[in-house]
Amino acid sequence: MSIDLEDVPAGFRPAVTATLEQVGVPEGHLAVEVVGESRIRELNREHRGRDKATDVLSFPVDEEDGPGPVELGDVFLCPAYCVNEVEAVVHGVLHLCGFDHETDQGEMLDLQDRIVAGLGIEPRMTVEAEVE
């Protein structure tokens, strides 16, 4: 088996591959879609109840092992809100793999920084605290 990156723009494939290798995901399919501000805002409002644009959203599909190919999910990226698009893709793929910086003790963001640095990019992404 292998990773199906057919639905990942070519420029993001090295980052997706590096992320999946780092977390030990040997097979599956995922998609990365670049969208505009209105679409990312719509997705954020519909799925997270937050009526504002953001940099990246992830929607996992197969969260449990089962028969057939593994569908990891979809990452939506809005370049207008990204500090670095490649870093945002790494962030989104980590979410597809079950990581959550909102509930862990910094492990996800530390891993993200290591992956991004390994790609030759200085980590710059920060996660904003939610102001309610």
| Domains of the chain and CATH, by start | 3-118 (3.40.390.30)
pLDDT tens, 24-52? Answer: 999 899 999 999 999 999 999 999 999 99
Q: Are 33 and 19 in contact (CB under 8 A)?
A: no
Can you give the pTM of this predicted structure? 0.89
Determine the average pLDDT of the residues in 74-95.
Answer: 96
The pLDDT of residue 67: 55
Residue 2 binned pLDDT confidence (cut-offs 50, 70, 90): confident
